[in-house]
Amino acid sequence: MIAFSRPFLPLFLHVLGAMALVGAVLAVVIVSFVAWRRSDLAILRNAAFWALAAVGIPSYVLMRVGAQWIYSNEGFSGHGDPTWLGIGFFVADAGLLLLLATTVLAYWWKRVGKTVVGRIVAGLAALYLVLLAVAWMAMSGKWS
């Protein structure tokens, strides 16, 4: 009911970007865990990179633009913001660094095919997925 009173388009873009981002990162987690065990499947290494580069980064941008649009429309000032909002911004900002690092490592893994790089990609993607789940819980529960 609360979401009904909010502007539709910015909230829709934010949620669409967040869902696509979670889907891309989950795909990378699954593909990278399978691919570093089977080093002969180069197509899975390519899939991990392209899931991040073609879906993950654009959906992050969409999620972040929608979030900033909502933030400015709701009149938040940065002073006395709710806790769930701070958690969301922290995960978004730290998540960008994780997303870019994972994308660069996935590209390197695609090029060299070393198992240790695949494990790092899987670990970073899993860590980012956990952070996204924490932000999802904080934003849906509206922790005060």
Q: Using one digit for the tens of pLDDT, what is the confidence trace for 4-49? A: 566 789 999 999 999 999 999 999 999 999 987 777 788 999 999 9
pTM: 0.89
- Asked whether residue 106 is assigned to any structural domain, the reply reads yes
144 in any annotated domain: no
On whether residue 136 sits in a domain, the answer given is: no
Q: What is the mean pLDDT of the chain?
A: 90
Contacts of 91 (CB under 8 A, 6+ apart): 131, 132, 134, 135
Q: What is the number of other CB atoms lying within 10 angstroms of the CB of residue 10?
A: 19
Q: What is the rounded average pLDDT of the residues 101-125? A: 94
Number of compact structural domains in the chain: 1
Greater confidence (2 vs 33) lies with 33
> Residue 87 sits in which domain range?
9-131
| 38: in domain | yes
- Whether 2 shows a pLDDT value over 60: the answer reads no
